[in-house]
Amino acid sequence: MKKLLLLLLFVPLVSFGQDCPPCEVIANADMEITSIKSSWPKIKNKSIVKINSLTNILYENQDDYWEQSKRSSWWMKEGRDPWTEDAIWGDGYIEPNLNFNSCVNDNLRWKCGYSYVLRFPENFKKNKKYPLVVFLHGGVTANQGGLNGRVRTVNSFFIPENDQYIIASPIKLGIDWSPKKIQDVIADIESQLKIDKKRIYLTGLSMGGRGTFIVAAELPDLFAAIMPLSPHHTPYSYVKLASKVSDLPIFLHHSTNDKTSKFSIAEKMSEELKKLNANIIFDVGEFGHSGWNKIYKNPDNINWLLSWQKSK
């Protein structure tokens, strides 16, 4: 009888095995933070490190707006796997040895937690409390050049000598950015480093620009200020999120000649935020769908972002 019961329990696992994503720790319900025990790489004397501590968390009920048939599992192609232990792609790229078991369907890896890159300031001190800037990259797919481009963008940020900060750059595999996963990234960083919780900032470009609105709308009390750049307008308009982010200082950039993300949507968002008496700067440029590194290199823009802190 016991053998029969064991057989009955085992059959569904076999028959549905190909639906298994390569992560198995079930995320906590709703917006409850999910932590996981893991070891970080040594960060002494390193300016940039790769953190994979959250990749074994499974987020089962995350919104996904495009059908799986339209998704490109770009991370499965040679030289593109973002779960490498090093934050380098191209000539220095080392393919990770992930050793997934036979039941895993790697096409479902987008359901797992974010891998992320951390950039540390010069002369980083482990016992010093630092502000944190979370950067959300753009795009839906990536090749080696695209992955390297995300690291180059992180390296372009102006860091004032008298107000140095840490930059976190998660790598998403899904379509839109997940507030729940970002919350867990920040909690993971706080578990290892001293972070000034009154000075956590969020910025992103293109799909990361819309992601900035999406994440901040769900977690408005977490951030001191946000900086969405050229936010993309699909798969749904972010304008409806205006009331949820209106209490935050916002630096919104968009170029009038952007042919990828609609300027008119950003303009409408600016108007909606102004109706709500939001503290917003609407920075209009003519960079097309680019120019973001120039914005991040500009001391005035970064100093504006860093000037804000939460009262509690």
User: pLDDT tens for residues 127-162?
Assistant: 999 999 999 999 887 766 667 777 788 889 999 999
Which residue ranges form the domains of the chain, and what is each CATH number? 2-306 (3.40.50.1820)
* Average pLDDT of the segment spanning 51-63: 88
Q: Rounded mean pLDDT of 56-77?
A: 74
Digit-coded pLDDT (tens) for 15-50: 344 578 999 999 999 999 999 887 788 887 778 899
Of 308 and 64, the structure prediction assigns the larger pLDDT to 308
End-to-end CA distance of the chain: 60
pLDDT over threshold 70, residue 8? no
User: Quick one: which of 40, 39, 45, 192 has its CA closest to 124?
Assistant: 45
pLDDT at 61: 73
For helices 207-218 and 179-192, the axis angle rounded to 10 degrees is 80
Residue 124 structure tokens: 């980083």
- Identify the burial level of 283 via C-beta atoms within 10 angstroms of its C-beta, where 0-12 means exposed, 13-18 middle and 19 or more buried: middle
E-strand ranges in 65-149 read 115-119, 130-136
Q: Is 278 helix (H, G, I), strand (E, B) or coil?
A: coil
The 10 Å Cβ neighbour count of residue 4 is 8
Instruction: State the pLDDT confidence band at 64, using cuts at 50, 70 and 90.
Output: low
pLDDT over threshold 90, residue 174: no
**How far apart (Å, rounded) are the C-alpha atoms in residues 308 and 168?**
18
H-only helix segments in the chain = 2-15, 144-156, 179-192, 207-218, 242-245, 263-275, 292-297, 299-306
Yes or no: say if 217 and 224 are a contact pair by the CB < 8 Å rule. Answer: no
- Asked if pLDDT for residue 14 goes beyond 50, the answer is no
